[in-house]
Amino acid sequence: MTDEDMNAAVDRSQHGHLVIVGGHEDRENSKEILSRFVELSGGGKATIAVITAASKVPDEMWKRYNAVFTELGARQVIRIDLPDRAAANDPALAGRVRNADGIFMTGGDQKRLLAMIGGTLMDEAMHGALKQRGACIGGTSAGASAMCGHMLADGKADLLPEKGSVSLGAGLGFVQRVVIDQHFSERHRLARLLTIVAQNPYLLGVGIDEDTALVVERGVGIEVIGAGSVTVVDGRAMISNVADIPSGGTPQLIDVRLHLLPAGSSFALPEEVGHPNQLRPDTTRRTPDPLTDFVRNVTKRNPVS
């Protein structure tokens, strides 16, 4: 390996990655998504920390992911047991997370997850691992929604957008100005995502299908892997009467953009085309203008992340 190759490898490792999973990822057959998470964490050299705080059955979640990450060849898999916020402020436990190569948040309830770790030493350690060491942060279902600065916290809209039916809360902030919903196509959540965008048009709505992941290389680009698609809803140019209708009403939404990114889609930021990154070279495409802001927001390497 030349000095130039070594420098490129170091540069890649310092970017850090996010693997944002829509839930119900395959853990028995090809394990494509979890295999990619292990690969981006360092493969056979990786130490992976599993955070089960979102779940009410943490023992079951730990057994499930310990088995699959061990099978996929991780060097070490460690359990981060957080029964309460006091544990999330334990310096020794936070240190184990900061030094991990991969950190994976299981499913459950994202409000429960944030109540346990939001603003704690554990939260700080995760950001430090990503920003300072280039670790890979993964999350499925609730763990995916928690990745955002603005987290989808509660509520639903069945067939049509419904003003006031969905609420947001503070998330972990690995991505900014984006809100993520999961189990998207399977649970027919387009109306819910439109409700969020109608009330918060500065946010880009992202819906991730089951057994599907949005893979982010910070500062470089994105890739969609798995069995389904990622849906992006952009309402920044939208014309709406949402401010004038009563709670429970269906807003008028004109000029909302919707992008569908099926598995295999891969886009780099314009300035990063040709960069020796970890996006798959056979599928990397220059980002179309309507998607540029989404890719830039989701890959942004800002001080808080």
Contact in structure between 51 and 107 (CB atoms under 8 Å): no
Determine whether 275 is an active site residue. no
Determine whether 25 is an active site residue. no
Instruction: Round the CA-based radius of gyration of the chain to a whole number and report it.
Output: 19
Give me the catalytic one of 15, 24, 127, 183: 183
Give me the catalytic one of 41, 141, 165, 229: 141
**Tokens (6 digits) for 269:** 């930021």
Query: What's the longest Cα–Cα distance across the chain?
Result: 65
Give me the catalytic one of 162, 210, 217, 272: 210
User: Shortest CA distance to 124 belongs to which of 149, 148, 98, 144?
Assistant: 98
Containing 296, the helix (H) or strand (E) segment is helix 289-299
Q: How many CA atoms lie within 13 A of 208 on its CB side?
A: 29
Torsion angle, alpha carbons of 75, 65, 14, 181, to 10 = 170
User: Shortest CA distance to 73 belongs to which of 106, 115, 31?
Assistant: 31
Cβ-based neighbours of 61, under 8 Å, separated by 6 or more: 50, 52, 55, 106, 107, 108
Determine whether 265 is an active site residue. no
Kindly list the catalytic residues: 141, 183, 210
